Amino acid sequence: MLDAVDAALMRALQGDGRATFQALADGVGLSRTAVRARVRQLVQSGAIRIVGVLHAGVVGMEVLGQVFFRVTGPVTSILEELEEREAVTFAAQTAGRFPVMAQVRVADDAALTKELARLRSLPGVDGAEVFRANAVYKDAHSSVRELREVELDALDWRLVRRLLKDGRASYADLARQVGLSQAAARSRVVRLLDSGVVHVTALVEPSVVGANERLGFGLRCRGDADALGTALANMSRVSFLASGFGRYDVVGTLTAPDHRRLVETLETIRGTAGIAYVETWEHLRIRKERRSGERSEVRLSA
């Protein structure tokens, strides 16, 4: 059973998956030894995975669109087609105005236009409406930190690959993996983190921590969508949030352990200043969910 200390450690590791045990201990008021044991248990139980997530721009996925499908007939075959699309990073059967929605990540708007044309032509699709993200404030599956221009060589990419598998790999282990001194490996990893190329975070397994309810929402606002997005991103149960243009001004996802807390969070959002309209959809069945760097043909090159 996870307690308040475990929850606090998970939140801290979501913010910085490479935080030292001493820093984590200071944050929760326990000894370093006790915190090390708790983090190890969280990982071994499957409650969290501590991994690196790439900035979407690094792998040619800088443009994000959410597509809401009107469908004729059953949706299973459409979900199967979406699962096979390389550009689709998330696909779900939903309850609400649209029976299927998908998230698409591509390099630019021209690629998004081409992908949308293919998706609209899928058998059973009767039409689609699109939200094109302008700013992503929160996304457990991709780094949303500012990406600074940095030259990456083959050793950098080897370090990235290792961090994608084990975000808390020690500098000694990373050094052995790439044939560098420990100091050199540490310097490169710090540069990768500071530049925004990769962010180490804890991915929480919803079923283990009891966060089984998931709800998507779209907002239209009266004023500044960016200010609204920045404010809502601070809510702990908001797991994804982006502002942009199209059907909505802001889209997001809520995750909660039960309907009651889902409703409470939704009511808080509805009461937020600047919101003119709220639309929701329940995720009945998630067919595909992939983080940056897990593309089958991604070129972590050089």
**CA–CA dist 242, 255 (Å, integer):** 15
Taking the CA atoms of 121, 67, 205 and 173 in sequence, report the sign of the dihedral they define: positive
Higher pLDDT: 163 or 298? It is 163
**CA–CA dist 61, 76 (Å, integer):** 26
Q: Looking at residues 269-278, what average pLDDT do you find?
A: 94
The answer, yes or no, to whether residue 6 has pLDDT greater than 80, is yes
pLDDT > 70: percent of the chain: 90
The answer, yes or no, to whether residue 294 has pLDDT greater than 60, is no
Query: Mind listing the domains of the chain with CATH numbers?
Result: 4-45 (1.10.10.10), 57-142+206-289 (3.30.70.3460), 148-195 (1.10.10.10)
Phi, psi of 254 (to 5 degrees): -105, 140
Helix (H) or strand (E) holding 69: strand 63-71
Read off the pTM.
0.76
Question: Where residue 99 falls among pLDDT bands split at 50, 70, 90?
Answer: very high
- How many alpha carbons lie under 13 Å from residue 201 in its C-beta half-sphere? 22
Task: Write 144-151 long-range contacts (CB < 8 A, 24+).
Answer: 145/55, 145/196, 145/199, 146/196, 147/55, 147/57, 147/58, 147/195, 147/196, 147/197, 148/194, 148/195, 148/196, 149/195, 150/191, 150/192, 150/195, 150/197
- Judge contact between 204 and 48, C-beta under 8 A: yes
- CB under 8 Å to 121, separation ≥6 — which residues? none
Question: Where residue 258 falls among pLDDT bands split at 50, 70, 90?
Answer: confident
Q: What is the pLDDT of residue 58?
A: 76
- Dmax (CA) for the chain in angstroms is 60
- State CA 255 to chain mean position distance: 12
pLDDT in tens, 50-83: 998 887 777 767 899 999 999 999 999 999 999 9
